[in-house]
Amino acid sequence: MSKEYFELKIKPKDNYELFLNLILSLTDDAIEENNGEIIVRSEESLLDFLEPLEKFASAINTKCEISCEKKESIDWIKKYQDSIQAVEVGNFYIRPSWLEPKEDKIDILIDPALAFGSGHHETTSSCILAIDEFVKRGDELLDVGTGSGILAIAAAKKGAVVDVCDTDEICIESTLSNFELNEQKINNSWVGSVGFAKKKYSVVLANIIADVLVMISDDLISSTKDGGIIIVSGILDKHEKRVLNRFSKLEELKIIHKNEWVTMVFKK
Ligand SMILES: C[S@@+](CC[C@H](N)C(=O)[O-])C[C@H]1O[C@@H](n2cnc3c(N)ncnc32)[C@H](O)[C@@H]1O
């Protein structure tokens, strides 16, 4: 991509069609028409157009504003990519594929997409810290509301055997492709919630809003093995007590507060 381009602007008082036809006959570059103004942009110089256009305007006795400016090109893709930052959470480094991995960190690749879960949100990063602390090699784990699959990928990288579910089909598609991108294996996945689980897990994760957690709390508990771990997040602190009440029969292992968000870890 060239660093500069030329922008030619022609705004005739009248005889607009005559100017437009002339421009169309002079250039193959794309032409923008905007409120009676004709704009041509090109990486080639358009300065040579100035004189003929001025002569044409005078020949047909039409007032016309004509200008040609050299402008700096903007690499929009690079600008967009620069706006997406990698994020470091405990031992994990979560990055888009155009950034380099970080030495001594567990690498997670997530490219921006429609599904939630880039690692930047407080709830996701708190869950990752909880996974780092409580998930062990060989754990059988269910990630409920997997979104981009980021938490399940973190758990798989710690050696867990992971199942995922989400009520949104796009999230399951996104999770499957992110598992491939991260060269990780997924054991099972389904569109739907924890109610469709066919076995009990040693770890059950759910980063969903408080109202949904309250609604599915019995299913989350019954899908967890005795002695297993439940990690729930997505809870605004004003709903903390309400969610805690639903898990009050379990042992409370850890409560993580990050800004106004709460993450809870229980043992069944
Ligand atoms: C906040 S996102 C969490 C994404 C990812 N796990 C993370 O931690 O970044 C919540 C996800 O839960 C899904 N979801 C909402 N209600 C659900 C339910 N009842 N059962 C399963 N998934 C649900 C949404 O589609 C969304 O993908």
E strands in 62-220? 64-72, 87-89, 92-95, 106-109, 140-144, 161-166, 188-191, 201-207
Instruction: Supply the residue whose CA is at minimum distance from atom 6 of ligand 1.
Output: 146
149 Cβ closer than 6 Å to some ligand 1 atom: no
Q: Residues near 84 by Cβ (< 8 Å), separated by ≥ 6?
A: 96, 112, 118
Q: What is the DSSP letter of 196?
A: G
Tell me, which fold does domain 4-73 have in CATH? Alpha-Beta Plaits (3.30.70)
pLDDT in tens, 175-231: 999 999 999 999 999 999 999 999 999 999 999 999 999 999 999 999 999 999 999
What DSSP element (H or E) covers 84?
none
- Token pair in block for residue 161: 């055997």
- Residues 5, 11, 17: CA angle, nearest 5 degrees: 105
Give the pTM: 0.78
Instruction: Supply the residue whose CA is at minimum distance from atom 11 of ligand 1.
Output: 145
- Token pair in block for residue 223: 């899908």
125 Cβ closer than 6 Å to some ligand 1 atom: no
144 Cβ closer than 6 Å to some ligand 1 atom: yes
124 Cβ closer than 6 Å to some ligand 1 atom: yes
- Token pair in block for residue 259: 């800004």
**Residue 1 confidence class, pLDDT cut points 50, 70, 90:** low
Nearest atom in ligand 1 to the alpha carbon of residue 152 is 6
Mean pLDDT of all residues belonging to the chain:
94
Say yes or no to pLDDT of 76 above 80.
no
- pLDDT of the residue at 79: 76
Angstrom distance (rounded) from CA 39 to CA 9? 5
Nearest atom in ligand 1 to the alpha carbon of residue 208 is 10
CB-count exposure of residue 86 (10 Å: 0-12, 13-18, 19+): buried
**Residue 74 confidence class, pLDDT cut points 50, 70, 90:** confident
**Residue 3 confidence class, pLDDT cut points 50, 70, 90:** confident
Nearest atom in ligand 1 to the alpha carbon of residue 233 is 8
Question: Contact, 221 vs 230, CB < 8 A?
Answer: yes
Mutational test site, ligand 1, from 92, 116, 232, max ligand atoms within 8 Å of CB: 116
Tell me the average pLDDT across 239-261.
97
**Binding-site residue positions:** 124, 145, 166, 207
Domain boundaries, the chain: 4-73, 115-267
**Binding-site residue positions for S-adenosyl-L-methionine:** 124, 145, 166, 207
Overall residue count recorded for the chain in this entry: 268
- pLDDT of the residue at 54: 95
- pLDDT of the residue at 117: 83
Tell me the average pLDDT across 229-253.
97
pLDDT in tens, 82-131: 878 899 999 999 999 999 999 999 999 998 887 788 888 999 999 999 99
Q: Can you identify the CATH homologous superfamily of domain 115-267?
A: Vaccinia Virus protein VP39 (3.40.50.150)
Instruction: Supply the residue whose CA is at minimum distance from atom 19 of ligand 1.
Output: 193
Tell me the average pLDDT across 62-89.
87
pLDDT higher at 13 or 26: 13
Say yes or no to pLDDT of 140 above 70.
yes
Per CATH, 4-73 and 115-267 having the same topology is answered: no
C-alpha distances out from residue 12 to 18, 40, 113, 250, Å: 10, 14, 45, 77
Question: Contact, 141 vs 185, CB < 8 A?
Answer: no
How far from chain centre, in Å, is Cα 34?
A: 34
